[in-house]
Amino acid sequence: MIVGSRESQLAMLQTEEFIRRLKKKMPEIECETRGITSSGDIDLKTSLKDMGGTGVFVRELDDLLKKGEIDVTVNSLKDIPAFIDEELTIGAVLPRAAVEDALYPIPWEKLSCGAIVGTSSMRRAMMIRARKPDIRIKDIRGNMNTRLQKVNDEVYNAIVVAKAAMDRMGEDLNVYPIDKNIVIPAAGQGAIAVECRKDDKETLEILKKVDHAKTRIEVTFERDVLRYMNAGCSSPIGVNAEVTEDDEIKVLAASFVPDVPVRLSETFPVDDAPEKAKEIAAKLMRK
């Protein structure tokens, strides 16, 4: 199996996690990792919004997958557009890690008036400003190590990162999770997705061995909300679903489309998820 991945440290760690889980189920399988540099990794000056926002980190991998040059791709699910190419499908979702966003190197409570906070995410920026309007948001690009260094160089007072990313990298740093009621996570945040060709039945059967049912339910709901809103993964929308032990789904969601926010919190049976996704999307769009 040829596994496509971005070449960043985090992406490779996620790919290693997928291969490790797969080999645990199928010790005999042979995997080869092929790294690529995405357009989102090359252009570090243009904002993600101006680059088209949706799919800038996965386009090149998707092209290789469609051409048959690789068998699967491994990505952070939050980077995969809600509407994926009709030739492709998400064959597996690994067990979800932490869903929260986090601040480095100071906690939310210590963000002072006028502090410069780095993030390239409109969702994060708008939710932070909604609670702390005096914070200055400054765009930041680059891999995780580059962004951390910019804080150490005092270009920023703090940066926003995904808690799951820091956990996977094993960085022993002062990273402080932000309450998800304050900054609602992106759809799919904390989950690793494995894509393959829709007509590759053999690979699809293999990927079923590492697909995590609870995570699949959660992220499917979150991505359904985005699809009903016709929104991209870079839109200022947060939606987080959590399956409880009582077979219910607890949802937090917020939309800044348009700029005046809509926030909601709901709990409902898992079986109601398909209809509830449509209903919640309508509420977020004020329809």
Strands in the chain per DSSP E: 2-6, 32-36, 72-76, 88-93, 101-104, 116-118, 136-138, 158-162, 176-177, 192-197, 237-243, 248-255, 262-269
Tens digits of per-residue pLDDT, 220-271? 999 999 999 998 767 899 999 999 999 999 999 999 976 668 999 999 999 9
pLDDT tens digits, 67-125:
999 999 999 999 999 999 999 999 999 999 999 999 999 999 999 999 999 999 999 99
pTM of the complete model: 0.91
Find the catalytic residue in 6, 21, 96, 124: 124
What's the pLDDT at 259?
A: 61
Residue 236's pLDDT is 93
Q: Which of 5, 15, 31, 10 is nearest to 203 (CA)?
A: 31
DSSP string over 31-44? -EEEEE--HHHH--
Active-site position among 23, 129, 141, 227:
141
Instruction: Provide the pLDDT for residue 48.
Output: 47
141 as an active site residue: the answer is yes
Segment 142-167 shows an average pLDDT of 90
Q: Is 79 annotated as catalytic?
A: yes
Our answer to whether residue 233 is catalytic in this structure is yes
Main-chain dihedrals φ then ψ at residue 264, nearest 5 degrees: -155, 160
Report H helices in 102-170.
Answer: 122-131, 144-152, 163-169
Catalytic residue among 6, 41, 62, 78: 78
pLDDT computed for residue 51 by the predictor = 45
**Looking up tokens 């991945």, which residue turns up?**
5
- Give the chain's domains with CATH numbers: 2-97+187-284 (3.40.190.10), 101-177 (3.40.190.10)
pLDDT at 44 over 60: no
233 vs 123: CA distance, rounded Å: 10
Question: pLDDT at position 117, please?
Answer: 97
- pLDDT reported for residue 281: 96
Quick check: is 227 catalytic? no
